[in-house]
Structure 1
């Protein structure tokens, strides 16, 4: 999936007012994913995304998972976006849905493995190809 397509899907699913908001949401979510999963897994995930997005996942190579719950994930992402957590939660869901379509099922399953059960709603979303069809 190309960068513009990824951002367009996030903007649509999140019902964002602007492309810039969708870009901020995507970067904030990916950077928070990078904090949550091992650095090596983040690097693997980055290889399946456009470079502009993959770069958000780099920089923690060799570091282990950092354990924090879903609420903390939303708080961290909302601080990066500089938005209210309720709005950020919508954005995070949109990014996860697009991410599921952008990477291979095997890679998405590996990503899922790094998250605790309180994140399940992020992994229950159908891929965007099904959402937009």
Structure 2
């Protein structure tokens, strides 16, 4: 999936006013995901995304790498922290952040390989997993 197509889909699904808002939503969500999942998984996710979207995700993943003295399994946090971080990064309320993150996950489900989405599902706690498309979220309940 190309950069503009991905942003257009997120913009439509989240009913955002413009592409800039969609880009902030994508970036905020994926940077927060990169903090939460193992570094290797973040790199695999980034490899299947357009460069413009993957680069910030890789940067955050590298900041949380074991070389920095952090655990390689990703930082542990729940939906409340996830929503707060996405909201802070995106400059929106936590409610809007969750709506936008849900739209981002829906588009990722179409953009990434099914195997990679399954790995992402497995790496997220139940409460964050509920933001994934319904079929994925229920797959592991």
Q: Given the two structures, how large is their TM-score scaled by the length of structure 2?
A: 0.84
Aligned residue number for residue 113 of structure 1: 122
Q: Tell me, which stretches of 5 or more residues in structure 2 are unaligned?
A: 67-71, 137-141
SS in 2 for 1:68: coil
Aligned residue number for residue 28 of structure 1: 28
Quote how far apart the aligned CAs of 1:38 are.
Answer: 1.0
Quote how far apart the aligned CAs of 1:87 are.
Answer: 1.0
Aligned residue number for residue 44 of structure 1: 44
Aligned residue number for residue 19 of structure 1: 19
Q: Is the contact between residue 65 and residue 114 of structure 1 (CA under 8 Å) also seen in structure 2?
A: no
Question: How many pairs are equivalent?
Answer: 127
Quote how far apart the aligned CAs of 1:54 are.
Answer: 1.1
Q: Please report the RMSD computed on the Cα atoms of aligned residues, expressed in angstroms.
A: 1.5
Q: Tell me, which stretches of 5 or more residues in structure 1 are unaligned?
A: 128-133
Quote how far apart the aligned CAs of 1:116 are.
Answer: 0.9
Q: Given the two structures, how large is their TM-score scaled by the length of structure 1?
A: 0.89
Quote how far apart the aligned CAs of 1:125 are.
Answer: 3.7
Q: Which moved more, 1:95-104 or 1:49-58?
A: 49-58
Quote how far apart the aligned CAs of 1:120 are.
Answer: 3.0
Aligned residue number for residue 95 of structure 2: 86
SS in 2 for 1:53: helix
Does 2:54 align with 1:54?
yes
Aligned residue number for residue 77 of structure 2: 68
Quote how far apart the aligned CAs of 1:70 are.
Answer: 1.0
Aligned residue number for residue 130 of structure 1: none
Q: Which moved more, 1:101-110 or 1:118-127?
A: 118-127
Q: Following TM superposition, where does structure 1 have runs of at least 4 consecutive aligned residues deviating by more than 6 angstroms?
A: none
